[in-house]
Amino acid sequence: MTENRETLRASLLKELDPAKIPAHIGIIMDGNGRWAKSRGKSRIRGHQEGARRVKTVVRFANDLGVKHISLYAFSVENWARPSFEVSALMRLIRAYIIRERNDLHAEGVKFRLLGRLEELAPEIVRQAQISTELMQNNPGLSLNLCINYGGRAEIVDAVKKIINKGYKADQITEELIAANLYWPELPDVDLMVRTSGEMRTSNFHLWRGAYSELYFTPVLWPDFDDVELLKALLAYQNRERRFGMISEQLAKN
């Protein structure tokens, strides 16, 4: 780490209010392709660098006391990419789950897969289950890897589960839908980050993201590090979250 960067990191860290750390951060990890292209490298190389970044960000978030981090690693729409890129991403994800298992466990992290798992290669789901079971009693951050995930698909799947359980129309409530999402114990997303300058949420956490604070940065995902996470957290801490109320009401709470 260069001296400037270390000074910047230390001063950002000093500004951070430990009492206002978001419980759940969602990250749309975008820009791997552009990162690679600007260096004359293959898109796959960009994804490899992106996968490396995950470690830095998860470890730092855990150290800061973040309780949940959802990473958008593969969307239901991403199957439309060239098949060699889809295969490379699946290989990377599988390798990541296996390679990082022991380190994540040692760091006290929990592990969950979110998405339409029945459409994924059984080996990925099996490896994820091993991690989930191994880490289920850990006290730290829960790493929620979103693979073959779509916010609309998650809501559709919740509605199907509710119908299969025999509920009637007048029994449908927001609480019931929330209780039938993937991993219902996960709370709403407080802060949603998207890298690479795109300003969309692209079908990520539609239900839990209803009141997310959005943070967009031009930094490409393979360049997103602990300093960038600190900037996002500070931006979040400077927002006023009103949840439909007015400022004066919040001051009373």
Token pair listed for 211 = 């009141």
Q: Is 215 helix (H, G, I), strand (E, B) or coil?
A: strand
How many whole angstroms separate alpha carbon 168 and alpha carbon 101? 42
Q: With respect to ligand FPP, which residue has the nearer C-beta, 114 or 158?
A: 114
Site string for ligand FPP, 11-50 (x = CB under 6 A): ------------------xxxxxx------------x--x
Annotated catalytic sites, by residue? 30, 78
Among 44, 66, 93, 230, binds ligand FPP (CB under 6 A): 93
Burial class (CB in 10 A: 0-12, 13-18, 19+), 134: middle
251 Cα distance to chain centroid: 30
Q: Where are the alpha helices (DSSP H) in the chain?
A: 3-15, 32-37, 43-64, 83-106, 122-135, 151-164, 174-178, 226-237, 247-252
How many residues line the site for ligand FPP (CB under 6 A)? 20
Q: With respect to ligand FPP, which residue has the nearer C-beta, 202 or 238?
A: 202
Site string for ligand FPP, 155-194 (x = CB under 6 A): ----------------------------------------
> How near is the Cβ of 72 to ligand FPP at its closest, in Å?
7
> How near is the Cβ of 93 to ligand FPP at its closest, in Å?
5
- Stretch in the footprint of ligand FPP (CB under 6 A) among 87-95, 120-128, 185-193, 238-246: 87-95
- Per-residue burial over 88-99, b if 16 or more Cβ lie within 10 Å, else e, is bbbebbbebbee
How many whole angstroms separate alpha carbon 253 and alpha carbon 179? 27
Task: Report the interface residues with ligand FPP, using CB under 6 A.
Answer: 29-34, 47, 50-51, 54, 71, 73, 78, 89, 92-93, 96, 145, 196, 221
